[in-house]
Structure formats: structure tokens, C-alpha cells
Amino acid sequence: MSPKDPDERDRRLSSEAPPARERLTHTGPRGARMVDVTPKPESARRAVAAGRVRMKRETLILVKEDRIAKGSVIEAARLAGIMAAKRTAELIPLCHPLPLTDVTVDCDHCDDPPSISVRAGASCVGKTGVEMEALTAAAVACLTIYDMCKAVDQEMIIEDIKLLEKSGGTTGDFRRRDREGDQ
């Protein structure tokens, strides 16, 4: 028989829960919740993420020569990534809106394999990290490259979206170790 008082139910379930380091932070006894960051101190935060769009060699040539009918693929991807980072909290449930102080999106051509690599960075001074903003910027920039080029190449592959590094906050710094296949 479960208690009729929901607060009592929460206390009971919390006492049966595993230690805090083993729990997911965005779920509670009543289901999904936004983490309360009120007591956390503000600190400078930075995150960098990456992704890649593989394409036919002919498609890459068109992008390099700025001959895609829709316009400049690289500039559209850069702008889309920046705009997406600013709207991350609207796209990702339970993600805190952050006062971003900087967003960068860089796109580089690679001839072997034919692809465009995206690197996105996000910064803020806040109580929670900007990893999701950097990842969102990289993912949307890749999606925009696909959208801009799909009329000439529907076999493109969006791949390898990942966090490369982050700094700030209580969990400290993270830097992805180079592994085979990492950018």
C-alpha cells in the first residue's frame, strides 16, 4: 500500500535510491525534473564539440567552388550552428537556458574521405555547463550541410558528433583522448 501523501512517497523512494553519484540527476521519484542549480556558484564554462558530413567527391568540389544552388554551404552551416546553440534549451528537454557569451562554428574540407568537418564551441559564465550548446551547434551545422547539398547528393552521412572538451564547473575539465577515428 502506497502512502497517500506524495511528499512521504518521495522521502521513502529517496531513502531507497542509490547514492547520489550513481543516480541520474534529471530524474526523481516523480519522474523527469529540471536540476536545481541555485546553490551552485557561477564559473566560466567552455565546451567544444565536433561532427562530420561525408559526401561524394563531386559534392565536395561543388561546395569548395561555392557552386551549390542554395548558396554558400559553409556560411549557412556556420549561421545555423550559432543560432541553434542559442536555442538549445528550447530543443533539449530539461536543459537550462544559458546566457552564452560566445559561440563559434568552423567548417573544414577534407579530401580523404571527402567530407566537411565541423567544430563548434560555446562559452558562458553560469551555473551549468555548455556541452549541450556546443553539441547542438555541431549537429545543426551538420544537418544544414546535408540540407544545402541534398539536391546533388542524397548519400551523405552525418557522423561522429561528439564532445571534444569542456572546462569549468564542479566536475572539472574533460578532454577527449585521441583514438583511432577521432578528429
Angle between helices 131-149 and 73-86 (to 10 degrees): 150
Q: Which of 145, 137, 141, 125 minimizes the C-alpha distance to 55?
A: 145
Distance CA 120, CA 143 (A): 14
Q: What's at 150, amino acid-wise?
A: K
- Residue 179, φ and ψ in degrees, nearest 5: -130, 165
Distance in angstroms (rounded) separating the CA atoms of residues 65 and 145: 15
Measure the CA–CA gap between 99 and 18, rounded to whole angstroms: 33
Active site residues: 147
What residues pair up with 125 in beta bridges, in sequence order? 44
